[in-house]
Amino acid sequence: MKHIEVVAAIIRDGCGRVLATQRGYGDMKDGWEFPGGKIEPGESPSEALKREIDEELAVTIEVGGKLCTVEWDYPAFHLTMHCYWCSVTAGHMSLLEHEAMRWLTADELWSVDWLPADREVVKRIEEIKES
C-alpha cells in the first residue's frame, strides 16, 4: 500500500478557537480537515508546515509543539499525519486551495464533517481540553 507522510497545522486564534478548512479538490473534496500537506524531500516538518500554509492560506505561521501523530489507512494509501499547534504571525487569510474555512470553539468541533484521520486529531484536542 502506498504511504503518504504529511503535516497538519492546528491553528489557534487568540480566542482559543481552531481553524478547520474544507477541501476543494481530489477524492476527499468537501471533507473538512486541518490544513497542511506533504513533506518534501529535505524539509523538516516545521518547514513543510510553513510552506504549505503559505501556499494554501497566504499567511505566515509560527509552529509550536507537536499535538500528535495519526496513522490512518484510507482505501488507496496509508497516511502518517504529524499535527502541530500553530498560530498566525503575519498576513491575511485567503482560501487558495480550500472551499471554506471556519474557526471552531471547543463546543463546535464536531459541527463539520471531518475526514477520518482528522477525526482522530479532534478527539486528541478534546482529551487535552478535558484534562
**Domain containing 13 — which CATH number?**
3.90.79.10
Task: Give the Cβ contact number of residue 60 at 10 Å.
Answer: 12
Cα separation, 66 vs 39, in Å, equals 15
Q: How many domains does the chain have?
A: 1
Q: What is the pLDDT of residue 129?
A: 74
**Model confidence at 2, in pLDDT bands (50, 70, 90)?**
very high
Q: Looking at residues 86-99, what average pLDDT do you find? A: 95
Cα separation, 71 vs 102, in Å, equals 25
For residue 128, pLDDT over 90 is answered with no
Q: Looking at residues 74-103, what average pLDDT do you find? A: 96
Whole-number percent of the chain with pLDDT over 70: 98
131 within some domain: no
- Check: CB of residue 19 under 8 Å from CB of residue 103: yes
28 within some domain: yes
For the chain, the average pLDDT equals 95
Whole-number percent of the chain with pLDDT over 90: 92
125 within some domain: no
Q: What is the pLDDT of residue 25?
A: 83
Q: What is the pLDDT of residue 26?
A: 84
For residue 102, pLDDT over 70 is answered with yes
100 within some domain: yes
Domain residues for the domain of 30 are 2-120
Q: Looking at residues 28-54, what average pLDDT do you find? A: 96
129 within some domain: no
128 within some domain: no
Cα separation, 17 vs 21, in Å, equals 13
For residue 6, pLDDT over 90 is answered with yes
14 within some domain: yes
127 within some domain: no
User: φ and ψ at 8, to 5 degrees?
Assistant: -135, 140
Q: Looking at residues 17-45, what average pLDDT do you find? A: 94
Q: Looking at residues 103-125, what average pLDDT do you find? A: 97
